[in-house]
Amino acid sequence: MKAVIAENLVKTYNKGAVKALDGLNLDVEEGTVLGVLGPNGAGKTTTVRILATLLSPDSGNATVAGIDVLKHPDEVRKLIGLSGQYAAVDETLTGWDNLIMFGRLYHLSAQATKQRAIELLEQFALSDAAKRPIKTYSGGMRRRLDLAASLIIRPKVLFLDEPTTGLDPRGRQDMWGVIDDLVKGGVTLLLTTQYLEEADHLADEIAVIDHGKVIARGTSDSLKKQVGGERLEIVVENEHLEIVKDIVARVSGSAINVDEGLRQISAPVTTGSKALIEAAKMLDEKGIHPLDIGLKRPSLDDVFLSLTGHVAEEKKEEEASVNKGRRRGK
């Protein structure tokens, strides 16, 4: 069964001048993780806000757990958890106060709320900070508390909008661990991200969106295939270039690609590691020891680039700033 379905969602701003969503379609199978991957302004947040009942689309339909999001938002709210792009908790209150407040707003009894707050603080390694105002939390702690708040009722369907943006590599690892555990617990998850690596790691299936549309979807493997299969790559000293061209051409059987500068010869192969062993044997027979030899599968970066092209640079900047552990200024 599909836990989330979005059909032809359209959302425009400024009287149609800005098309945030332009006929977006997606669905998430129950108990699986869909990674919605897209650059800045692709429409990720808009999609999540519509599915989480916060925003009405201009047209299109959406259901969550089989319930129409537009017709019965109150029913949907009882089943979902949402952790938005920016942590939304009361900063002057403590972590404990916040969880209690949200628990009570979900209409759990006082006793059940306390129980759940203790559990969640434990689960998210926040027990020690429970009695401190959120103001004093680090970015990662805030994000975890925000996530904890969205899990109070053990939602059936969880929406996480860029859960690791702005976290340093360590915070990101922690968050991944937390999300992995949730997924093992069986929740259906729709998560947005700008990081290919993250979608690759966390998601069963990936939907690449750009300009408010899904431009590709599938497992991370099938997306990689879409861009092209494996390639055999060999780097050698200049003197052996000619012989190696010959070998690669024979193993591959298709057109080879030569990069004189990098002294690299590559060609698509269909037989995987068998082709690699074959090439290695032939090189060995000729007494050639390559500087590098390997099978290269296209990375998700390649997928993304070949699908959208135009965002490659923006994405690189993003990545760089996160690696330095800076918070994204927004």
Partner 1 sequence: MINFISDAAVITKRQLLQLSRVPELLLFSTIQPIMFVLLFRYVFGGSIDTGQPGGYVQLLMPGIFVQTVAFTLAGTAVGLAADMQKGLIDRFRSLPISRSAVVIGRTLGDGALNIVVLTAMGVAGYAVGWRPTSSLFEVFLGFVFLLVFGFAMSWIGVLIGLSVREERVATNATFIVVFPLTFLSNAFAPTTGMPKPLQYVAEWNPVSTMVAACRELFGLENQFGATAGSFPSENPLQMSVIYMILIMAIFIPLSIRKYNNAAKK
Ligand X SMILES: Nc1ncnc2c1ncn2[C@@H]1O[C@H](COP(=O)(O)OP(=O)(O)OP(=O)(O)O)[C@@H](O)[C@H]1O
Binding site for Mg ion (CB under 5 A): 44-45, 85
As given in the structure block, the two tokens for residue 182 are 């949730």
Least Å distance, CB 71 to partner 1, is 14
Q: Pick the closer one to ligand X by CB: 98 or 193.
A: 193
Query: Residue 133 has which token pair?
Result: 């105002």
Partner in contact with 325, chosen from ligand X, partner 1, Mg ion, none, beta carbon below 5 to 8 Å by kind: none
- Binding region for partner 1 (CB under 8 A) out of 1-9, 105-113, 174-182, 216-224: 105-113
Q: Are strands 18-29 and 188-193 parallel, antiparallel or unpaired?
A: unpaired
Give CA–CA dist 201/219, Å, rounded.
11
83-112: contacts with ligand X (CB under 6 A): 85
Applying CB under 6 A, among 3, 6, 33, 45 the residue interacting with ligand X is 45
Q: Tell which positions 54-83 bind partner 1, by CB under 8 A.
A: 54-56, 74, 77-78, 80, 82
CB atoms < 10 A from the CB of 259, how many?
A: 11
- Name the one range near ligand X by CB under 6 A: 39-47, 112-120, 223-231, 292-300: 39-47
Question: Contacting partner 1 (CB under 8 A), which of 4, 108, 149, 208?
Answer: 149
Burial of 50 (0-12, 13-18, 19+ CB in 10 A): buried
Residue 221 CB, nearest approach to ligand X (Å): 25
Q: Identify which range of 46-54, 60-68, 117-125, 319-327 contacts partner 1 by CB under 8 A.
A: 46-54
Of the two residues 72 and 211, which places its CB atom closer to partner 1 in the complex? 72
Strands 80-83 and 231-235, by their bridges, are unpaired
The phi and psi torsions of 107 (rounded to 5 degrees) equal 65, 30
User: In angstroms, what CA-CA distances link 318 with 4, 30, 48, 195, 210?
Assistant: 29, 32, 21, 9, 17
CA distance 225 to 223: 5
Note the residues at the interface with partner 1 (CB under 8 A): 49, 52-56, 74, 77-78, 80, 82, 84, 86-94, 97, 101-102, 104-107, 133, 149
